Structure 1
């Protein structure tokens, strides 16, 4: 096929309608390719955003859990400290704590076992 057959009609005129159809077809193909490329870019960007969000949420969750553990440990330490202070205060006034009572009973049992208690 020669260029003359592509562009000329049988009457010898330039086939503008055919040229326009070919241009329109080529433009449509290019537009479709651009759309596919943009869709591919959009899908990749969405996946990257989703992955980044998941990673960020995992980091936040991990930090929150770590802070909750730290808080629980600190609360427990403060409770023990407060209990020890209260028990020490009452021990100094002659009121025995549960720990002191347990120790007294253990010593008493030990002395009984050795036969050193008064009966």
Structure 2
């Protein structure tokens, strides 16, 4: 039976036949592949990844699993995981770029960037308290 993309993680793990530690390794391998794909092709999601690249990802993940003595997985489980993983990696990257950056200068260490006074303004004892 083909695994639906709406399946839960527990349903996917049960269908895979992997135990929890093997499943964790699969998650790690898939996440690394998703990071690579998202960095090389940020416009892609799993549905528009070319077939040759999907085959390469499947072979890479299954090769890593085999090297650790873990049974290879079917295309439906890899599709299920990569769809989620690519979406999550891309969302994480968006969230990371939207977060305010910490200022590492001495003035930034004393307070937030919002309370710093631009150097072109003269000192004001009230404003610059």
Query: Is the helix fraction higher in 1 or 2?
Result: 1
